[in-house]
């Protein structure tokens, strides 16, 4: 696992007990994780334990910490890989351990966050349906047939913005065809997962 020169510089500062006493170091780690997982940046850095740190240094070190967390998450790095990387930045054993502990606690949430970044087709989240019985219309009387209206609820994509739900009508036979094909897909999934 490798960090950029800028990040390494930040970590060297973080490893320096004169620049970053113990409490400040822990506060910064917490702030870095919170800013990634919750998206709050300001509040984390307003921690009282960090008030004595020079703002430029604080900004540099926050960035370095975030970069290290993201790189470890992206590569699914194990403890030894992270330790080696931080040792190269001259961090003492205790600080490395603190980082690894905090990282481990938040590893799963981080993985979910990273996995959700990226493009994919619109994602179906739910389906709603209604069943109607058609009696007549102004062109044709005595039609007498059931009809389904199906809406596939699609997750709102921040890119598209608009309401992308897909709605369509279908006869009973068509719905049976649709369900049959979905069941084929599910069966294939099951078989694939058993391989």
Partner 1 sequence: MLPPASLQEEPPRAAVGELGRLAVELLRRGAAPRAYEAAARKLNIDIDTVQHGVEGLTYLLTESSKVMISETDFQDSIHVLGFSDELNKLLLQLYLDNRKEIRSVLGELAPKLPSYHNLEWRLDVQLASRSLRQQIKPAVTIKLHLNEKDDQTAHVLQTDPSTLLHLIQQLEQALGEMKTNHCRRIVRNMK
Cα 93 to Cα 82: distance, rounded to the nearest angstrom: 12
**Per the structure block, which two tokens stand in for 9?**
């510089």
Nearest one of 70, 63, 62, 78 to 114, comparing CA atoms: 70
How many residues touch partner 1 under the rule CB under 8 A: the total is 56
Q: Which is nearer to partner 1, 80 or 143 (CB)?
A: 143
Site string for partner 1, 156-175 (x = CB under 8 A): ----------xxxxx-x-xx
> Rounded to the nearest whole angstrom, what is the least distance from the CB of residue 164 to partner 1 in the complex?
9
Question: Applying CB under 8 A, which of residues 2, 78, 92, 177 lies at the interface with partner 1?
Answer: 177
Q: Say how many residues make up the chain.
A: 195
Q: Which is nearer to partner 1, 56 or 133 (CB)?
A: 133
> Rounded to the nearest whole angstrom, what is the least distance from the CB of residue 154 to partner 1 in the complex?
7
Contact 45, 120 (CB under 8 A): no
Strand partners, 154: 124
Q: Which is nearer to partner 1, 101 or 176 (CB)?
A: 176
Q: Which is nearer to partner 1, 94 or 155 (CB)?
A: 155
DSSP state letter for 93: H
Cα 121 to Cα 75: distance, rounded to the nearest angstrom: 25
Q: Does 195 bind partner 1 (CB under 8 A)?
A: no
**Per the structure block, which two tokens stand in for 14?**
């973080």
Q: Which is nearer to partner 1, 14 or 82 (CB)?
A: 82
**Per the structure block, which two tokens stand in for 153?**
């609820």
Question: Applying CB under 8 A, which of residues 59, 84, 111, 160 lies at the interface with partner 1?
Answer: 111
Taking phi over 0 as left and psi of -120 to 50 as alpha, with beta for the rest, 39 belongs to left
SS3 call for 166: strand
Is 49 buried (19+), middle (13-18) or exposed (0-12) by CB count in 10 A? middle
Site string for partner 1, 53-92 (x = CB under 8 A): --------------------xxxx----------------
Binding site for partner 1 (CB under 8 A): 73-76, 111, 114-115, 117-118, 120-127, 129, 131, 133, 135, 137, 139-144, 146, 148-150, 152, 154, 166-170, 172, 174-179, 181-186, 188-189, 192-193
């Amino acid at each position: 696992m490798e960090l950029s020169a800028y990040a390494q510089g930040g970590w060297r500062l973080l490893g320096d007990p004169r620049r970053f006493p113990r409490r400040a170091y822990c506060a910064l780690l917490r702030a870095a994780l919170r800013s990634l997982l919750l998206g709050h940046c300001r509040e984390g850095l307003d921690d009282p334990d960090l008030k004595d740190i020079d703002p430029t240094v604080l900004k540099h070190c926050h960035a370095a910490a975030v970069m290290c967390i993201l790189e470890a998450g992206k590569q699914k790095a194990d403890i030894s890989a992270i330790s080696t990387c931080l040792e190269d930045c001259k961090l003492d054993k205790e600080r490395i351990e603190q980082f690894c502990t905090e990282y481990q606690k938040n590893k799963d949430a981080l993985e979910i966050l990273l996995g959700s970044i990226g493009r994919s087709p619109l994602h179906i989240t739910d389906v709603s349906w209604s069943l109607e019985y058609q009696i007549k219309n102004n062109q044709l009387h005595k039609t007498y047939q059931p009809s389904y209206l199906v809406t596939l609820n699609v997750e709102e994509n921040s890119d598209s913005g608009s309401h992308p739900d897909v709605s369509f009508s279908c006869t009973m036979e068509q719905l049976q065809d649709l369900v049959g094909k979905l069941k084929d897909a599910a069966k294939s999934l099951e078989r694939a997962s058993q391989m």
